[in-house]
Amino acid sequence: MKKIVLALGLAFCLAAAASAEDDGKLTIAEHQFIEQHLKPLPWRWGPGEVALADRIQQVFEKVRSFKGDTVAREAYRKGFKDRLPSPELRRKAFAMMVAICAADGEVAESELAMLDAFGPGYLAIAQDEVARTAQAVLQAMGLGAQQ
C-alpha cells in the first residue's frame, strides 16, 4: 500500500508540475478531483489537509524555481522513474496523471503533449502502453478517445 500511495503522490506532483508550467493553476474540476481522490490518502509526509497543502505548495515552488532553467528542470524530471522503480507503479502514477488532467472533462492539447512526453521520457513507459493507459483512463471517466 505504501508504494501505491507514493505513486499517487508522485502522480499528483507530476500533474501539478505540468500545470504550473502552463499557467500555475488547477481548474476547479481538477482541484475537486484532488480533494475527492487524493486528500484522503495517508500521505508519507504527514496526515491531514495542512500537510498536503504544504506539499502542494512546495511542489509548485520547486517547479516555478526552474523557470528558464531547462537543465535543472530536466534533471528533476529524469529522477521520476528512479523514485518509482517498478513499471507497475510508474503506470499507476501515469494513470493518475491522466485522470487529474481529464478531471475537468477534457484533456487540453498542452496536457496531451505533457502526457506524451512524461510517459516514455520520464517514467520509462513504452509509447504504446502510454496510449493504452490513457485510453483506458479516459474511457473509465466517460470521456472516450481523446488521444
Specify the pTM: 0.72
Residue 46: CB partners within 8 Å, gap ≥ 6? none
Residue 108: phi, psi to the nearest 5? Answer: -70, 160
State residue 84's pLDDT score: 79
Length of the chain: 147
What residues contact residue 4 under an 8 Å CB cut-off, 6+ apart? 89, 92
- pLDDT tens-digit map of 22-59: 555 667 777 777 777 766 666 666 666 677 677 767 77
* Cα gap 105→64, rounded to integer Å: 26
Q: What is the tens place of the pLDDT at every residue in 89-135?
A: 888 888 888 888 888 888 888 888 888 888 898 889 999 999 999 99
Taking a C-beta distance cutoff of 8 angstroms, is the pair 109, 70 a contact? no
Q: How confident is the model at residue 16 (pLDDT cuts 50, 70, 90)?
A: low
C-alpha cell at 85: 522503480
